[in-house]
Structure 1
């Protein structure tokens, strides 16, 4: 099932080995309990989680755009199971890398060549299966949405979101997400931008700044966090969207 081509980078091989270790833990009741505890510790250490936990008090579901091997997905699912078990988590990714024709000059950071970017994040075809197993084992209402954002997000039934996590690197991918999802974010809800202000992904900052240009809301950084967790909180004055939806599992 796993891709183990010789061209695979060491970091990708390491991440796959880690996922193999997780899969072995999940084979036994004791292992599942141990991994659940590991996730709890990781949640406490992650500065993203405080924003997330506050957002879970609002109406609406959770969506992640850019999953790769699902590290953040599992943390989100862990806290949702504790604090908001009836909410849905949507994990959106092609699981096959970037849309090759949508890597622009604005996405090329220092020493980041187009041919190298085109090869990134391709080793994830096994992730939908792994995450589905994770959701099922721990009773999380998770949904895998497979495909490029420009294709999948417009087809999702409109709904309310209390939290949006965007980790999609490219300029056009950020706009694909924001153009569809921002209107569905509830007032007071939060969008976190994993790649904002990162020199290696200049297109991310460009897209976010363009989208919020002329608006009172601007990206801000979590106070006291050295690495930089950047987010936008939707103004309370914005109108609330009322939607209905049907459960999903896997698209694509």
Structure 2
């Protein structure tokens, strides 16, 4: 039986897949910062039909540990990276990069980005990723902020991201799924 949380996740994944369809028409690679178990990447690629998805999809995470205090994820310990690599056997378009962001982007990131999904659960890390990658997002490219409208420990993300985007003349579209969506001009 599906509960409300399951339904919410389904809609969140649908936003990723729909955004990906738009972005697949653009120049540039796909990027997800905060991969955890790879569900976001797999949702997008499988939505297209694995072999029909021709973009390179970069996935950044610490994988084996969580640097965000008070935000532990089940199974995020030694061995998770190997598990996720195995999950993407047969997905040659996926490049998983292990390390702390934004440092792990150096020498391991695309020059042009069509789709940027950020799910780091931490305002400081998310703004650092925006500083490093936003200028690489092509016009018409999309940025999806996974926890943008959530309350509690996530509220600092919205406040920091609103200020960051406002300084650049942008406004994030809040979605009823709790995500935020931005289309680059």
Q: TM-score range by the shorter chain?
A: 0.7 to 0.9
Q: Within 5 Å, give how 1:133-212 maps onto structure 2.
A: 133-137=86-90, 139-200=91-152, 201-212=154-165
Task: Tell me the alpha carbon deviations over residues 224-244 of structure 1, each in whole angstroms, 9 at most, x when there is no partner.
Answer: xx3233111101xxxxxxxxx
Runs of 4+ with >6 A deviation: 42-45
Instruction: Report the equivalent of 1:77.
Output: 45
Instruction: Report the equivalent of 2:7.
Output: none
TM-score by length of 2: 0.81
Which sections of structure 1, spanning at least 5 residues, go unmatched?
A: 1-41, 104-113, 236-252
Which sections of structure 2, spanning at least 5 residues, go unmatched?
A: 1-9
Alpha-carbon shift at residue 158 of structure 1 (Å) = 4.5
Alpha-carbon shift at residue 142 of structure 1 (Å) = 0.6
Change beyond 3 A, Cα 1:45–1:175: closer
Q: Distance between the aligned counterparts of 1:78 and 1:229, measured in 2?
A: 21
Change beyond 3 A, Cα 1:133–1:80: farther
Change beyond 3 A, Cα 1:130–1:175: same
Matched, 1:86 2:54: yes
Q: Distance between the aligned counterparts of 1:157 and 1:168, measured in 2?
A: 17
TM-score by length of 1: 0.61
Instruction: Report the equivalent of 1:121.
Output: 73
Instruction: Report the equivalent of 1:229.
Output: 179
How many correspondences in the alignment?
A: 174
SS in 1 for 2:150: coil
Q: Is the strand fraction higher in 1 or 2?
A: 2
Q: Distance between the aligned counterparts of 1:179 and 1:186, measured in 2?
A: 15
Instruction: Report the equivalent of 2:168.
Output: 215
How large is the Cα RMSD of the aligned pairs?
A: 2.5
Change beyond 3 A, Cα 1:57–1:83: farther
Task: Tell me the alpha carbon deviations over residues 53-84 of structure 1, each in whole angstroms, 9 at most, x when there is no partner.
Answer: 11111011111001112221211232355585
Instruction: Report the equivalent of 1:130.
Output: 83
Which residue among 58, 63, 73 is the counterpart of 1:95? Answer: 63
Bigger radius of gyration, 1 or 2? 1
Contact 1:92 1:146 (C-alpha < 8 Å) held by counterparts: yes
Alpha-carbon shift at residue 45 of structure 1 (Å) = 6.9
Change beyond 3 A, Cα 1:206–1:84: farther
